[in-house]
Structures are given as structure tokens and as C-alpha cells.
Amino acid sequence: MTTALVFDVGGTSTRAAVYDASTGRLLADDRRPTPTRFANPDTATPQLIDQLLALMADQATRISGGSVPAHVGVAFAGPVLEGKVLRAPTLWGDRTGNPVPIKNLVAELWPDRHLYVCNDVTAAGYRYLRTQSEDFCIVTVSSGIGHKIFTGGRPAVGPQGRGGEIGHLRIDYSPEAPTCECGGRGHLAALTCGRASTYQTSRLVERGELAVHDIAAFCRAGRVDNRQLAHAFRGGHPAATRVVEQMATPLGRCLGMLHLATGFERVCVIGAFGLALGPAYLEMLSLAAAESGWDTGLDWHAVLELGEPDDDAALIGLGRALTWEVPPSS
């Protein structure tokens, strides 16, 4: 394989690129908004799927000059089993219904290609594997929360592809718990991802832990601007620090639980929100993880690391997976 056409289909944007296997780099790329339920609330899911496929076809034409490579990879924001998307809450909310055979649909666009379809966090994990047999965990903190644990260089997702979705662990059982994009209440993602910042800020104000004037630097008209929140947090703003701590603690505790269950000793944190918060955010995750279990001498500060300051992980990971010819995974 010399080049591959790779796609990263996310809840905000869909990005296509050409991966160069000789250099491990991306060549031409194209990014556009993903047609989702949230941007198009009156459009049925089947029509959104058709719009997505049309978008991908147009992107491929633009970046490949009409000559699509023999290898095509698709990373999708949702659990994937045997080329079928089981759920996609950041794209289609809770309205997916039956599994979507995305691999077959892509094969109709480009017949006779070698296709590889997997979850987007799985794809990102292949970028950060140090060896093809490493044990490690990758976590994305963005518009949702996702993770994958790799054992022996392979994602541990179970026989039906349902594993690696810690964002949908219910941790808040209170009646006022926020609703997750999947329709469930009190899920980890609803409390800790980028979209949870407004909820957590409002919660702190309601409790009297923060005043309205405290959050003026990053909150307007009852909505948090995550760019401003991250900027304020990196600058040591007390209110921003309190909000981020409120969001980081549940995730750190879950990482501690995952470590106790599997024993990994390396965690790579990616995702636009997590990367924007930076090293001080890792410190909060480390403290929460360390406090979640017994002391075995593990240095959580050494365990956690930030990914590269870009959003190329899934695309580069797909290219590496295609180069290595990894078996189908979720």
C-alpha cells in the first residue's frame, strides 16, 4: 500500500484525507460539517445517512482527483461491529434504530477497494501505539467521551463490539442528572465532555459555590464558551479551575477503575477539549485517578500524557491500521 483514502466521521465535522504510507503523513485533506440530527432536527436519519455518503463522495473526488486509492478507511463516532455502526449519538442522537451497514454503503461508492471501518477512538489508538503489541488506554475528551483499551496491540471491545464506551457509564442517579446525547441520564459524558461545561457551571452557581460575576470571563447568556473557558483555565482563573475540576474528577475516577480492572500503565488523552485544557487538566485527572483506589506505587502523573496538538489522530491511525493490515475491529 502506498496511499489510502481515510475518513474521520465525527459529531461536528467529517474530514477526509489521503494518507501516505511511506511517510506516515497526511496529504490533501478536506473538512466539512457533518449532517447531524442536531444541525438538522427535522431530517430523518436515513436522509442524514444519504447526505453523509454524498458528502464523503464529494470529498473523495476533491482530494484524490477522481482516482480513489485501493485502500479506504472510515473511522466513525460510535461502536462498530463487522462494518456496522451500532449507535451514533453524536450524529443521530437516539434515533439510529437498526445498525447502519456503513461498510457496505461505502463499498457501493467505491467497489473493489480494500475497506477498513472502525470506531474513531480505535482508529486514534493505532496512531499512538508505540509497538504493534502494546497495552495502553486512549481517551478522547471532546463533544463526547470515548476510550479504548488496547491489549497486545488490539482494542478490547468484546465479541459484539460493545466495549470501549465508558462515556455511557451512568454515574449520576439523581432526578436532576443531565441527559446524554444517547438519551440516557447521568452518563459520564453528560458530566465531563466539552458539552457538559454549561451544565457544570450552572450547577456550581446554583449551589452557591460560584457567583455570576465569577464566571463572566467564559460564560455569556447562560452558555459557556469552551474556548474562553480553556483560556481562563490555563491562566489560573479560579472559577474556571473549579468548573474544570468538577468535570475532571468523575473521568479521573473512571480511569482509576479501568486501571484496576485491566492493569494498563499508559493513558493518552486526546480530543479538542482535553487538549485545549492542557497539562493542568492532566494533573486533575491524575489526582482523581490516584484517589479512586488503593496505593500500589503507580505514578499517575507518569501514566497520563497528552496527544499531539492536532485532530489528525483517527486519520493517521486508520492509515497505520491499513498499512499493518489489522483484522476487523470496533
Assign residue 273 the CATH number of its domain: 3.30.420.40
Decide if pLDDT at 96 tops 60.
no
**The pLDDT of residue 95:** 58
Decide if pLDDT at 214 tops 80.
yes
Query: 237 and 140: one domain?
Result: yes
Query: 205 and 124: one domain?
Result: no
Whether 330 is in a domain gets the answer no
Query: 261 and 300: one domain?
Result: yes
Maximum separation of any 2 CA atoms in the chain, in Å:
61
Domain that holds residue 227: 136-306
Query: 16 and 117: one domain?
Result: yes
- Indicate the number of domains in the chain: 2
**The pLDDT of residue 98:** 83
* Confidence category of residue 327, pLDDT binned at 50, 70, 90: confident
Whether 329 is in a domain gets the answer no
Query: 15 and 35: one domain?
Result: yes
Query: 166 and 233: one domain?
Result: yes
Which of 108, 122, 167 has its CA nearest to residue 142? 167
Query: 205 and 278: one domain?
Result: yes
**Location of C-alpha cell 449519538:** 89
pTM of the model: 0.91
Query: 160 and 299: one domain?
Result: yes
Query: 140 and 249: one domain?
Result: yes
**Residue 237 in grid coordinates:** 482563573
Query: 80 and 191: one domain?
Result: no
Query: 20 and 148: one domain?
Result: no
Q: In angstroms, rounded to a whole number, what is the distance separating the alpha carbons of residues 21 and 2?
A: 5
Which of 25, 28, 55 has its CA nearest to residue 40? 55
Query: 116 and 144: one domain?
Result: no
The one-letter code for the residue type at 192 is: T
Residue 15 sits at φ, ψ, to 5 deg, of -120, 135
